[in-house]
């Protein structure tokens, strides 16, 4: 994670991949795999940024220029995970949701009150 926790995304539309997971107990090579995935994501065409937190449940949202870029990343990630030990070793359960971001606002753009 960078010191700036927010992905520096452009004007919408762009694509968000919301990955929600519950880990299995123990590391089992997860930390190394996770760092590899993170480094690999940043090299992918169409990568815009990533935000991540774990507190019981883990939520990682990666942002992509378009659906094709998000699909490309999915193939690369699946390949890496399969090469290593496989997702069942690391994740008790997970969900992946692919979404098109239509609006974005923050504290400096009138925030929760804005349309």
Toward a copy of itself, which CB reaches closer, 9 or 44? 9
Minimum Å gap between C-beta 43 and a copy of itself is 18
Do the Cβ atoms of 33 and 81 come closer than 8 Å?
yes
Q: Report how far residue 21's alpha carbon sits from residue 56's, in angstroms, rounded to the nearest whole number.
A: 9
Q: Give the number of other CB atoms < 10 A from CB of residue 10.
A: 11
Instruction: Sort strands 57-64 and 14-23 into parallel, antiparallel or unpaired.
Output: antiparallel
Largest CA distance in the chain: 47
Could you give the string, one character per residue 64-103, with x where binding to a copy of itself holds by CB under 8 A and - elsewhere?
Answer: ----------x--xx--xx----xx--x-xxxxxxxxxxx
**How far is the first Cα of the chain from the last one, in angstroms, to the nearest whole number?**
30
Stretch that binds a copy of itself, among 28-36, 38-46, 105-113 (CB under 8 A): 105-113
Which tokens belong to 40? 């690999």
Tell me which residues in 16-55 interact with a copy of itself (CB under 8 A). Answer: 16, 18, 20, 22, 51-55
- Contacting positions for a copy of itself (CB under 8 A): 1, 5-7, 9, 12, 16, 18, 20, 22, 51-59, 61, 74, 77-78, 81-82, 87-88, 91, 93-107, 111-113
């Amino acid at each position: 994670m960078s010191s700036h926790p927010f992905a520096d995304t452009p004007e919408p539309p762009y694509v968000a991949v919301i990955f929600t997971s519950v880990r299995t107990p123990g590391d089992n090579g997860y930390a190394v795999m996770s760092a590899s995935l993170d480094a690999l994501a940043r090299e992918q065409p169409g990568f815009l940024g990533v935000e991540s937190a774990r507190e019981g449940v883990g939520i990682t949202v990666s942002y992509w220029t378009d659906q094709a870029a998000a699909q490309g990343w999915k193939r690369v990630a699946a390949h890496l995970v399969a090469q290593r030990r496989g997702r069942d070793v690391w994740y008790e359960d997970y969900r992946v949701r692919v979404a098109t971001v239509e609006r974005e606002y923050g504290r400096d753009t009138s925030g929760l009150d804005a349309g």
